[in-house]
Amino acid sequence: MEQSEHLEHTETPSNMKQQIWKTFWILFALTIIDIGLYFMLLSTHSMLKNYLFIALGIVKAFYIVAIFMHMKFERKWLVNFIVYPMLFVVFLVILMLIEGDFTGLVR
Amino acid sequence: MANSTTLTTGKQNIWGGGKSPFSVSYGKLMMWIFLLSDAFTFSSLLTAYGFIRYSFPSSQPNEIVKPMSHLSDQFVEEMQHAGLFSAEHWPLPELVFNHFPFLHGIHLPLFFVSLMTFVLIFSSVTMVLAVEAGHRMAKKEVANYMVLTILGGAAFLGCQAWEWTQFITEGATLHGNPFGPTAFAALFFIVTGFHGFHVFSGVVLNIIIYINVLAGTYEKRGHYEMVEKVGLYWHFVDLVWVFVFTFFYLI
């Protein structure tokens, strides 16, 4: 029973190994780009730079979750079930950035 | 008739008991739920960081300290005199995290933490390769990749211990530091500490899994799903590090 249930959902593609290494090189390159950008933009201080780094972080997160955590091959509602609650975090971040700005003004 | 049969089978497949609506096993679904709650915990910590970070202005240097240049023993005092390290400004990470083991006296901003990032990404790769080998029931390969994953995790923890030691030696504590606002070091210790504790737990879990692989527990069970479940946790730890790295060292 356990075994058949397990085998049933293995929708892992046959070229998984290839995909794993491809993902590794993507993550490697993105981290290099991160560090490179950091040094290139050392003298710039804008919020835009921060958004750029966060966007790169989200791209890296996407690859880790999709390939390494196998999310790309799971049922659609499992994906929704995990991703939708994260919208609360987006809400919290927006809220706290507004608050942080205000705290800076009154300090 | 044919239609109703399909419907019944469909119903049984989805809700008939014994099978998951998401076509994953109970254990995996619960691991996902745990990771979601853990993601909330880390999000609140990182958002707290963002909030405090955003309420302080960044220090604005007149000139950039060149990488690979000489790093004097009074570097922190020099920065304080230059006004770059003060309680009113958030310090620039490249001026704080600029040490590398065995390369004393050279300004190497963010080099060490980049190395730590690569170590963790690589251990994530070996973990997913162990999972892949588990699908093929290749016991020996799973065991080998588990060893590499454990070594990667241990290497990361070692790096973090070194970084903490360096940071503490320079005078950073939970209630004060020579670089900037009190919250700067406090948040660093709390967030990287909490993440490090996750890495430590992950290494312990990986060791347990490794012993079970060697003992042939999963071979007898007929599948290596436990490797996948612990793998999910391990990748999550890597995922969190991506954001800790972004927030603490780049922003």
- pLDDT tens digits for range B93-108: 888 998 898 888 888 8
| A42/B64 touch (CB, cutoff 8 Å), yes or no | yes
pLDDT tens digits, one per residue of B190-212: 999 999 999 999 999 999 999 99
Asked, for residue B210, whether it belongs to a domain, the answer is yes
Q: What is the pLDDT of residues B21-68, one digit of tens each?
A: 777 888 888 999 999 999 999 999 999 998 998 888 888 777 777 777
Interface test with B, best of A45, A54, A96 (most B CBs within 10 A): A96
Q: Is residue B74 part of a domain?
A: yes
Q: Which domain holds residue B35?
A: 26-250
Q: What integer is the mean pLDDT of A24-46?
A: 89
| Cα–Cα dist A95/B231, whole Å | 33
Q: Total domain count for chain B?
A: 1
> In the structure, what pLDDT confidence band is assigned to residue B4 with cuts at 50, 70 and 90?
very low
> Per the domain annotation, does B20 fall within a domain?
no
Residue B15 lies in a domain: no
Tell me whether A106 touches chain B (CB under 8 Å): no
- At B18 the pLDDT is 60
pLDDT of residue B77: 83
Please give the residue that has the higher pLDDT: either B45 or A71.
B45
> Rounded CA gap, B220 and B65, in Å?
59
Best CA proximity match to A85, nearest among B208, B109, B127, B37: B37
Measure CB to CB from residue B55 to each of A21, A35, A100 and give the nearest one. A100
Domain boundaries, chain A: 15-73, 75-107
Q: Is B243 on the interface with A (CB under 8 A)?
A: yes
Contact A89 B222 (CB under 8 A): no
- Confidence band, pLDDT 50/70/90 cuts, at residue B71: confident
Reading the block at residue B201, the tokens are 């737990």
Name the average pLDDT for chain B.
87
- Best mutation site among B217, B246, B247, B248 for testing chain A: the one with the most A CBs within 10 Å? B246
Q: What is the CATH number of the domain that holds B71?
A: 1.20.120.80
Q: Is residue B6 part of a domain?
A: no
DSSP SS3 for B176: strand
DSSP B53: H
Is residue B5 a part of any domain in this protein?
Answer: no
In a domain, B8, yes or no: no
At B70, the pLDDT band (50, 70, 90 cuts) reads confident
d(CA B204, CA B217): 17
Closest-CA residue in chain B for A78?
Answer: B22
